[in-house]
Amino acid sequence: MGDLLGVAVLGAGHMGADHIRRLDRGVSGARVVSVADPETDRAEDATAGIDGVLVHAEPAAALDAPGVQAVLIASPGPAHEDALLAAFARGLPVLCEKPLAPDAAGALRLVEAEARLGRRLAQVGFMRRYDAEYVRLKSLLDSGRLGRALMLHCTHRNVSSPPDFTTAMLINSSVSHEIDAARWLLGQELTAVSVLRPRPSGEAPEGLLDPQFVLFETSGGALVDVEIFVNSGFGYQVRCEAVCENGSAPVGDGHTMVVTTAGGACEEVARDYLVRFADAYDREVQSWVDATRRGRVTGPSVWDGYAASAVAEAGVRALSSGARETVDLAPRPKLYEGTESRTHTLGTSA
What's the average pLDDT block by block, 10 residues per block, for the chain (350 residues)?
88 97 97 98 97 97 98 97 98 97 97 97 97 97 98 97 96 97 98 97 97 98 98 94 98 74 76 85 98 96 98 98 98 84 56
Residue-range definition of the domain harbouring residue 180: 146-276
Q: Are residues 272 and 153 part of one domain?
A: yes
- Coil, helix or strand at residue 150: strand
In a domain, 317, yes or no: no
* Residue 190: Cβ within 10 Å count: 26
Other CB atoms within 10 Å distance of the CB of residue 320? 12
52 and 118 share a domain? yes
Question: Quick one: pLDDT at residue 122?
Answer: 98
User: Does 212 reside within a domain?
Assistant: yes
pLDDT of residue 340: 52
CATH code, 289: 3.40.50.720
Residues 214 and 168 grouped into a single domain: yes
Burial of 213 (0-12, 13-18, 19+ CB in 10 A): middle
Residue 20: which of 6, 35, 2 has the closest Cα?
35
For residue 349, the model assigns a pLDDT of 53
Cis amide linkage into residue 211, ω under 30° from 0? yes
* Total tally of structural domains belonging to the chain: 2
pLDDT reported for residue 260:
74
pLDDT given at position 264: 80
Residue 177, domain member (yes or no)? yes
State the pLDDT at residue 47.
98
**259 and 102 in contact (C-beta within 8 Å)?**
no
Is 116 in the same domain as 168? no
